[in-house]
Amino acid sequence: MFIPLHDANGLEHIKLQYVTFGLIASNIVIFIFTGLGSEQFAVATTYGFGYIPSVAFDLVNLPPEWYFVPEDFTYLTYAFMHADVFHLGGNMLFLWVFGDNIEDALGHFRYLVFYLLCAIGGALFHGLIDPSSQMPLIGASGAVAGVVAAYLMLHPRVKIWILAFGRIPLRIPAWIALTLWVGFQFVMFAGAGEEQISWACHIGGIITGAILVLLLKRREVPLFDREVVTPRAVEMQQQSAVRPIGAKPAPRWGRQ
């Protein structure tokens, strides 16, 4: 639908979004590790760490050679597994653009809890829709959907750069792009069903993120952008471009 590129939205409460960096790094390292082995190893890790509703609801059992973690752990481990570089890149790009401001609004620890709970919410909703499914669910989309929902509720007025339809650069308010993105998830869930993409997981993450941001955000952080935080670099450029009123001009030497 669109590719996010950049948001002009600085950090107010934290100096560095190290939890966001850590989540991105973890996903990349795990993707590289699981991709280095054989095809058989990739299948085993997908089924062993992916979320399988029928296994989670004790309807079927995994073969012993695929049993790496207890079933309940897969509500989290699935969110660090990705099918290919495009799957990984899309999720991490959304997390890179929008995650830092959610970390700023919640604080480091609560943001990590928020992210993990959104992943759980996405998997749970996916499982409730089709408890008998034996296909493994993988990817950070549920957690990232929660981040998107929280950003929409906190910073709808921020201008963001996107590539619409993957090729048209636009700078538009976040509420336009993200409202369309959220609506698209519900439309696809209602009309397209569950094929290659789990729209249910996205919706579970969106609902979880929308609820948790109300509970976990800092008290002083308002909803719906009463004030947009301008990045420091932009502030410095604006200040240097405007001379204070009453300032004397620099002396000019030579004839006039």
* Span 47-96, pLDDT tens digits: 999 999 999 999 999 988 899 999 999 999 999 999 999 999 999 999 99
Residue 195: what pLDDT?
66
Q: Are 6 and 99 in contact (CB under 8 A)?
A: no
Q: Is the pTM of this model over 0.95?
A: no
Inform me whether the pLDDT recorded for 253 exceeds 50.
no
Distance CA 122, CA 189 (A): 13
Secondary structure class of 243 (helix, strand, coil): coil
Inform me whether the pLDDT recorded for 228 exceeds 70.
no
Q: Which of 107-111, 182-186, 250-254 has the lowest mean pLDDT?
A: 250-254
Inform me whether the pLDDT recorded for 242 exceeds 70.
no
Strands lying side by side in the sheet with 159-164: 2-7, 159-164, 168-173
Residue 238: what pLDDT?
46
Distance CA 94, CA 89 (A): 9
Q: What is the pLDDT of residues 100-159, one digit of tens each?
A: 999 999 999 999 999 999 999 999 999 999 999 999 999 999 999 999 999 999 999 999
DSSP 98-133: HHHHHHHHH-HHHHHHHHHHHHHHHHHHHHHH-TT-
The one-letter code for the residue type at 221 is V
Mean pLDDT of 163-184: 91
Q: How many helices (H) and strands (E) does the chain have?
A: 10, 3
Q: What is the pLDDT of residues 5-27, one digit of tens each?
A: 999 898 999 999 999 999 999 99
